[in-house]
Structure 1
């Protein structure tokens, strides 16, 4: 397919899709996706320079993304990378690990391996099991809000609340001690925010693909070493935490291979808190910018599930995944061939006006709200019930203790094409005088 083909996106639009800086400029990004969705909902993205990356199809419409997400036989996670990658990064990964991905986790595998691995912890993350954690999570939420109020009245909500709260919940589930949490946070930021100069700790605004992948590889190696030690301890001293389940799991009568076990730990440890942090910060920003909606939910807590669900759609923390077509298919008037690489873009799908009325508006009463932020089908997010539970409990605690909230500066988003969200949210908090 050549650049003159109408299915091929113009260079400027293609750059916007793969440039991490685009994702830090949210309104401009949504403008870009609106334009692409309206003109070429299934579009081809070609590299500006030959060999820079493999061409791929960009899928922006809700219905098409849902179709791909639910059909895991036709649209595979393997053999190509499941996250957009430059060829240089893929070659580095192959040389270092023998795989196209630096981490082989649940999101990478297809059937028959994927359902067997998922089943190992699926019951643990179901609501009936998570219910026993509610009191512990609620106590943590109240301590977090106490610290925020003590630090106020002006606070960075991401630093004080949205970052540490879900991190602590997931680390408790994994059995990681509090003193190791800062290390886990830093490694997660390097893994998911390696393209961002602040989150990566590099201070470099425009890192090359090679620099990013080397930074991420270092974080992965540190994670692997840490969880290998944790798994060894849980095999000798098993408890009721998820770390023990993974450490002692068997599939087809055999323990998990070390690389697969490390990937399991890493996906639970990182995706389990960074995405919830992004949704939590997004919800708080929306409420701070809309005093009327804040007052409504403070007076009527039955609106909280809607706040949570809308925040997850509105922020779409996991911004894309890649799939590979297993057979020839037609989609959006385009002929996709077996072996073609595809990007299902959740940001675009969750802001499709054909599915969501006035999609840029944060609407706690939006119904139905069948967003795709958790994915769909066999690869739907394992921790979706935990994320909803955490956010509901935290906002109950926040609404109990806060009389009002308003912006106190400019919110800033992460520079990242994969997992993104607010990295800073300055707020002015007025604590309730009636709070205990």
Structure 2
């Protein structure tokens, strides 16, 4: 999705807005539409040709209200537009598709193994992966940051889950296919065939992983042993949550990387402000998360009649919260269309909010801090080496191709060569 700066309040025909269409996020530009909606139609309804409908909210306050208040807006019936109009079969089985107290029983044990403290021991391994990822920059040739970054999360999430490294490229492809089934690079089969196929293969894979393994000290083993409110998880619950955890990692981290680097390129005065101070790098990462907003939307269903921004919302109505819009809301962010590496405060909702705040956020932040800590030490400046290509998806604001070159700091090329000597490259995505 393009990260553009609207000029003035757009005179958009809001009756013709189609936020469901994944093509809008591949070749169009939702930011002027969201700006107009925040000002003129904070609750905007859309009916699809097949009769399904939903209400969109675009203001930061409304997005937070929808995502935080599970007593008014339930996750049990589905959280993504891809299953609009049908009850989610993962309801009350997958943490992301449940409400408290079911959600709480699953989440609390996972919090303990996905906290910053629990993940600290993995930082050296992640830094090694980062050096391998960045090694091609030493050649000075165009390097596709998006393609390289797509495999990055598997090197820590796949390892944390105990998944065989040989499987990582195919799992990356399948998770991308699950969120972008209409993208010609990953799916584009008719009648949602790509989505069904991706789900089937991923569920079958995780069922095999769970049933085949004995006692293992990894995240899948933890889910098998986990006490979820006085009982163990069933096989289907373990499979659904393995799918959700892997999907969350693979569709967020790579696009946060691409969006942050795009911010450095589009606002060239910002990157030089980073001087290696970890606190400044952390602020820049949070701004990158706001800027990219990789998870584009989450959906809920209204439990009872209520209202948002003074507009009525009916019981049973699907409500879609657009995170990319909330993260540009002028009511919350000063100069929201400026990429500011020192932005503070930064109340972005890139990881959601409330009880469903992304359980994997600490892991994503550890990985991003490791990566951009190395980037700041090694790279003087990034340059575009071709136009980016955007993912065709209404859920993930993603980049599927982003060629760049980099001016390295003195000694960086030798450091990369030394650090990667004897280490093989990260696995690449399989050809489709």
Q: 1:306 aligns with which of 280, 283, 286?
A: 283
> Which residue number corresponds to residue 24 of structure 2?
22
Secondary structure of the 2:30 match is helix
The aligned runs of 1:329-368 (5 Å cut-off) are: 329-368=306-345
1:84 matches 2:81: yes
1:385 matches 2:362: yes
> Which residue number corresponds to residue 157 of structure 1?
145
> Which residue number corresponds to residue 117 of structure 2?
128
Cα deviation per residue 1:182-215 (whole Å; 9 max; x = unaligned)?
1111111111111211132x4xxxx65x2x2x21
> Which residue number corresponds to residue 419 of structure 1?
396
Cα offset, 1:253, TM superposition: 4.0
Cα offset, 1:284, TM superposition: 1.1
> Which residue number corresponds to residue 3 of structure 1?
none
**Equivalent residue pairs, number:** 401
Cα offset, 1:86, TM superposition: 6.3
Cα offset, 1:300, TM superposition: 4.5
Cα offset, 1:254, TM superposition: 3.3
Greater mean alpha carbon deviation, residues 251-260 or residues 311-320: 251-260
Cα offset, 1:330, TM superposition: 2.1
Secondary structure of the 2:333 match is coil
> Which residue number corresponds to residue 403 of structure 1?
380
Secondary structure of the 1:195 match is coil
Distance 2:51 2:326 in 1: 23
Q: 1:223 aligns with which of 202, 216, 239?
A: 202
Q: 1:177 aligns with which of 164, 167, 170?
A: 164
- Quick check: 2:380–2:408 contact (8 Å CA) kept in 1? yes
> Which residue number corresponds to residue 237 of structure 1?
215
- Quick check: 1:406–1:427 contact (8 Å CA) kept in 2? yes
Distance 2:348 2:219 in 1: 28
Which blocks of at least 5 consecutive residues in structure 1 are unaligned? 1-8
- Give the 3 Å change call, closer, same or farther, for CA 287–139 of structure 1 in structure 2: same
Secondary structure of the 1:292 match is coil
Secondary structure of the 1:255 match is coil
- Give the 3 Å change call, closer, same or farther, for CA 301–121 of structure 1 in structure 2: closer
Distance 1:198 1:132 in 2: 36
Cα deviation per residue 1:123-165 (whole Å; 9 max; x = unaligned)?
111111111111111121122222x2255421001122x2222
Cα offset, 1:18, TM superposition: 1.0
> Which residue number corresponds to residue 44 of structure 2?
43
> Which residue number corresponds to residue 405 of structure 2?
428
Cα offset, 1:55, TM superposition: 2.1
The aligned runs of 1:50-61 (5 Å cut-off) are: 52-61=50-59
- Quick check: 2:90–2:240 contact (8 Å CA) kept in 1? no
1:107 matches 2:96: yes
- Give the 3 Å change call, closer, same or farther, for CA 217–278 of structure 1 in structure 2: same
Distance 2:337 2:27 in 1: 14
1:375 matches 2:352: yes
> Which residue number corresponds to residue 140 of structure 1?
129
Distance 2:119 2:83 in 1: 39
- Quick check: 2:181–2:194 contact (8 Å CA) kept in 1? yes
Secondary structure of the 1:285 match is helix
* TM norm structure 2: 0.87
RMSD: 2.1
> Which residue number corresponds to residue 290 of structure 1?
267
- Quick check: 1:193–1:420 contact (8 Å CA) kept in 2? no
Cα offset, 1:171, TM superposition: 0.6
Cα offset, 1:101, TM superposition: 5.8
Cα offset, 1:248, TM superposition: 2.2
Cα deviation per residue 1:39-89 (whole Å; 9 max; x = unaligned)?
110122223x3xx1432211111111112222111111123x2211466xx
Cα offset, 1:282, TM superposition: 0.7
* TM norm structure 1: 0.87
- Give the 3 Å change call, closer, same or farther, for CA 412–320 of structure 1 in structure 2: same
Cα deviation per residue 1:229-262 (whole Å; 9 max; x = unaligned)?
221244x2321x1111112224344332222211
